[in-house]
Amino acid sequence: MGDMARASVLLTGSELTRGAIQDANGHFLAAELTRLGVPPMRIVVVGDDPDDLEAALEEALQLDLLVVSGGLGPTHDDRTVEILAATAGIELTVDEALHAQIEQTSRDAAERLRRPYHDFEPGVRKQATVPVDAAVLGLAGTAPGLVLRAGRTTVVVLPGPPGELRRLWPPAAEHEWVTTVCSRNPQRERRVMRFYGASESAVARALEAAGGETDGIEVGICARDFEIHVDIASEPGRRVAADRLEEDLAQNLGKHLFARDHRPVEQLVIELCSGLGLTLATAESCTGGLIGSRLTQVPGASEAFRGGVVAYDNDVKQVALSVPGSLLSEHGAVSAEAAQAMATGVRTALAADIGIAVTGVAGPGGGTPEKPVGLVHLHVLTPSHDRGQRLEIPGDRDAVRSRAAAAVLHLLRRTLAQS
């Protein structure tokens, strides 16, 4: 274990430490480093204060691989490169080829924005100033990605905006200095099992009954929106034992097992609909469009998803979805009857083969003893099935909404799998 490479991730930016934006890079980088065989020991978030950034870099430079994101822009508070160089004792230099690239990109931007180029010029030189002997990965916008050696540490420097970071990550992961570090660790075989409808404790008991973690086999359990993900990592030579563990879990929890990969449920739904030649429409009340948003994140969703109606107000339920006013008066908007009528209405209104609907009390107010906060009614209507489900979902407003969206997608998935 002494020769095993160790990694860390450092996310910079006061907008993160102040809660102005939510981090979207830590999860991605952790998953990518894990895929390369060097899962990060820690993920650190630090603001733009120079002393704080220097202290965080000093600690991180004790490890073998460091991935830093953020602070590569043209403004005064973008200090990552200069403080990294100072901390590592590396001189800075203007990379003339990089300067020419950034200048052209900036001139193009100035022309589009109808602004004078001299507004951009100081930032161009700043962003083209890099540590001596650093390898330039390319540009995302005007921010360069870099790989450099700082003593024992290989450092990858990437821009903070998630789209730019992900664009420059592949050449970073393939760089010789990075692959050399990663090659020091044995490549583990990784597999995932995803369950729906089983509690986390039930999965933990099944794992214990199957033998649990043993030498050379690591198992992680993660709960997310009623799904339980089991990640199994096995070292070389432990594949048979990992196969046995996976098979035992499948036998004990088979009715809850819905995937052995990382495809999200919305992708599974789109693939099932496409495979069956069926189109889909959504009617949402308390989820406010979350289901449609999840479906349209899937590439190729247009093959199956026709659209959706966010029918928050009862008038919209009646006008857009043809839900009878008498039904709403008798049963209320949060009812099995309303959910069924919404699914029927959206299926007709959008000329789809399948209609799904969600209505509920997301909270924090609006609950009653008969219809408490967290009460949600789901409905799925397909050419061959007409199914409803009542749930009482714990948690705050965001949890109720996200779990309700996941629940109706899983209800549709199970229904389509039986078609």
> What phi and psi, each to the nearest 5 degrees, are found at residue 379?
-150, 140
- Say whether both 283 and 140 belong to one domain: no
Q: CA-to-CA distance for 153 and 41, rounded, in angstroms?
A: 14
Residue 251 has which token pair? 């036998």
Do 291 and 405 form a contact (C-beta atoms < 8 A)?
yes
Last residue of a domain, one of 182, 199, 228: 182
pTM above threshold 0.75: yes
| φ/ψ bin of 351: left (φ > 0), alpha (ψ from -120 to 50), beta (otherwise) | left
- The per-residue pLDDT for 3 is 81
Query: pLDDT (tens digit, 0 to 9) for every residue of the chain, 419 residues total?
Result: 458 899 999 999 999 999 999 999 999 999 999 999 999 999 999 999 999 999 999 999 999 999 999 999 898 889 999 999 999 999 999 999 999 999 999 999 888 988 998 888 889 999 999 999 999 999 998 899 999 999 999 999 999 999 999 999 999 999 999 999 999 998 889 999 999 999 999 999 999 999 888 999 999 999 988 999 999 999 889 999 999 999 999 999 999 999 999 999 999 999 999 999 999 999 999 999 999 999 999 999 999 999 999 999 999 999 999 999 999 999 999 999 999 999 999 999 999 999 999 999 999 999 999 999 999 999 999 999 999 999 999 999 999 999 999 999 999 999 999 86
Do 82 and 71 form a contact (C-beta atoms < 8 A)?
no
- Say whether both 80 and 172 belong to one domain: yes
Question: CA angle 22-26-28, nearest 5°?
Answer: 110
- Say whether both 117 and 152 belong to one domain: yes
Last residue of a domain, one of 182, 197, 216: 182
The model's pLDDT over 86-126, given as tens digits with 9 standing for 90+, comes to: 999 999 999 999 999 999 999 998 889 889 988 888 899 99
Report the b/e string of 94-120 with b at 16+ CB within 10 A: ebeebbebbbebbeeebeeeeeeeeeb
Domain count, the chain: 3
- Say whether both 176 and 247 belong to one domain: no
The model's pLDDT over 294-349, given as tens digits with 9 standing for 90+, comes to: 999 999 999 999 999 999 999 999 999 999 999 999 999 999 999 999 999 999 99
Do 193 and 232 form a contact (C-beta atoms < 8 A)?
yes
Residue 188 three-state SS = coil
Q: CA-to-CA distance for 381 and 387, rounded, in angstroms?
A: 6
CATH number at residue 367: 3.90.950.20
Name the nearest CA neighbour of 339 among 366, 371, 365: 371
For residue 151, the 8-state DSSP code is T
Q: CA-to-CA distance for 376 and 68, rounded, in angstroms?
A: 42
Name the nearest CA neighbour of 69 among 25, 134, 19, 126: 25
- Say whether both 162 and 243 belong to one domain: no
Last residue of a domain, one of 115, 147, 182: 182
Which residue segment(s) compose the domain that 60 sits in? 7-182
Tell whether 2 is covered by a domain. no
Is the Cα dihedral 345, 349, 350, 354 positive or negative?
A: positive
- The per-residue pLDDT for 335 is 98
Q: CA-to-CA distance for 47 and 27, rounded, in angstroms?
A: 18
What would the DSSP string read from start to end of 16-85? HHTTSS---SHHHHHHHHHHTT--EEEEEEE-S-HHHHHHHHHHHTTSSEEEEES--SSSTT--HHHHHH
CATH number at residue 11: 3.40.980.10
- The per-residue pLDDT for 1 is 46
- The per-residue pLDDT for 75 is 86
CATH number at residue 250: 3.30.70.2860
